[in-house]
Amino acid sequence: QKEVEQNSGPLSVPEGAIASLNCTYSDRGSQSFFWYRQYSGKSPELIMFIYSNGDKEDGRFTAQLNKASQYVSLLIRDSQPSDSATYLCAVNWPGGGADGLTFGKGTHLIIQP
């Protein structure tokens, strides 16, 4: 069973603080991990992807991957009201088929001005 788990929130964070979003997945063999941001009524857009254990930084965003713990997180530094959205964690499973990404239900993030 392919499962990606996220806390649905809402997660409320003051403007300027660090927002921490977490995701766990069920298959230890998973190879690639993605964070998408989705504004209400819009389509998902890619924020970060990560393939290797450790941290990957891109501007205010840092993705962290721990394959041993089957855990991936997204940190947003200096949170802005425009960061308020639903953040979807997605995992690509190993195996021969394309299968697509399996998505978590998303965490609703609210940045309080």
Partner 1 sequence: NAGVTQTPKFRILKIGQSMTLQCTQDMNHNYMYWYRQDPGMGLKLIYYSVGAGITDKGEVPNGYNVSRSTTEDFPLRLELAAPSQTSVYFCASSYGKESEAFFGQGTRLTVV
Binding site for partner 1 (CB under 8 A): 4, 6, 8, 31-32, 34, 42-46, 49, 51, 88, 90, 92, 97-106
Q: For partner 1, which is the closer residue by CB, 100 or 113? A: 100
Q: For partner 1, which is the closer residue by CB, 17 or 39? A: 39
Q: CB of residue 59 vs partner 1: minimum separation in angstroms?
A: 17
- What is the spatial distance between Cα 91 and Cα 13, in angstroms, rounded to a whole number? 26
Number of other CB atoms surrounding residue 61 within 10 Å: 17
φ/ψ of residue 98, rounded to 5? -75, -50
Question: In whole angstroms, what separates CA 13 from the centre of its chain?
Answer: 16
Q: For partner 1, which is the closer residue by CB, 6 or 64? A: 6
